[in-house]
Amino acid sequence: MSETDTVEDLRALVALSCRILAATGCVREITGHVSVRVPGTDRFLVRCRPPRDPGVQFTIADDIQLVGLESTNADLPDGYALPGEWAIHTELYRQRPDVGSVVHGHPEASLKCGILGLPMEPVIGAYDPGAMELAVRGVPTYPRAVLISDRQLGGEVVKAMESSDACLLRGHGVVAVGADLQQATVRAIKLETLAELTLSLHSVPGAQPQQLSQDDIAEVSGFVDSRNAGKTYAHWTWDFYRHTLGDAADVTKRI
C-alpha cells in the first residue's frame, strides 16, 4: 500500500473515530478531537474545525487534515483550523514514541470523577479487562481546568500522564492514547465505563468498593496477554461500535 493510500485510509478512520466517540458520549457538541500518526513519519492526521463546525458527531473525512508538529492554521486549506488544544497531541507525539494516536474528549462521568477526586481503582476484572487495565496502570489527574493551548501546558499534561494510557483533566475532560487509532478510541470509551462504575459505587451510602486481589489481576491480565488479545479486543470493540453506527458510519457525507 502506498503512503497516499495509507493517509486516505487513516483519514477516514479518524472521522469514524469522531463519530464513535460522539455516539458513546466521549465527545460533545463541538468539543473534542482525535489524531493519528502516519506510520514511519513525523506527520499526523487530526480532526480540524471547518469554517462552520456542525459538531464532532458530524465529522467527515474532509475535516481530517495532514499536518506536522510545527504546522499552523496557515498550513491548512479552505478556512480549516487546528484544534485549539493541538498542543495535547504535539507534546504527546514529541515525548511518547509509543503513542500512535491521541483522543481528547469531554465525557461526563470522567469529568465528575476528576472534580470529586474519586480514584479509578481496579474493582472489576473479567467484566471488562480493558477498563481493568486502565485502573491497574493508573489514571492520573492533571489538576488545572485550563485550555491546553501551548507547548508548556501540553508538556504539563504529558508529565502528569507519565507512562499511563489515560489522564483526567480536572474540570475539563480526558486524554487517552494508544499504539493505534482503534486502541486510543476504545480506551477513551473504557475510561468512561470505569468512571461511570466509580460514580455509581461511590453513590451508595456507606459503600466500600473492594479492590481486586493481585492474584485476580494477574489471572485476567495473563489470560489477555497470553493470546496477545489486548489489541485484538480493541479492534473487535471498535468494529462493534462501527456497526452500531449504521448509515452514520459513512464519513463521506455529513449526517
Q: What is the pLDDT of residue 209?
A: 86
Residue 8 annotated as catalytic? no
Average pLDDT over residues 25-50: 96
Q: What is the pLDDT of residue 233?
A: 87
Alpha-carbon Rg for the chain, nearest whole angstrom, is: 18
User: Does residue 13 have a pLDDT over 90?
Assistant: yes
Q: Which domains does the chain have, with CATH numbers?
A: 3-249 (3.40.225.10)
Sheet holding 64-68, edge to edge: 64-68, 43-47, 33-37, 101-105, 173-178, 166-169, 141-142
Share of the chain above pLDDT 70, in %: 96
Q: What is the pLDDT of residue 227?
A: 62
Q: How many CB atoms lie within 10 A of CB 223?
A: 13
Catalytic one among 29, 85, 108, 192?
A: 85
Mean pLDDT score of the chain, rounded to an integer?
94
Average pLDDT over residues 10-32: 97
Helix or strand holding residue 202 (H, E): helix 181-202
Query: What are the pLDDT digits (tens) for 222-250?
Result: 877 766 666 788 999 999 999 999 999 99
Query: What are the pLDDT digits (tens) for 113-159?
Result: 999 999 999 999 999 999 999 999 999 999 999 999 999 999 999 99
Q: What is the rounded distance in angstroms from the CA atom of residue 54 to the CA atom of residue 101?
A: 24
Average pLDDT over residues 26-33: 96
Q: What is the rounded distance in angstroms from the CA atom of residue 32 to the CA atom of residue 47?
A: 9
Residue 14: closest CA among 90, 65, 76, 54: 65
- Alpha-carbon dihedral angle through residues 224, 229, 230, 231, given to the nearest 10 degrees: 170
The pTM score is 0.94
Query: What are the pLDDT digits (tens) for 166-216?
Result: 999 999 999 999 999 999 999 999 999 999 999 999 999 887 888 999 999
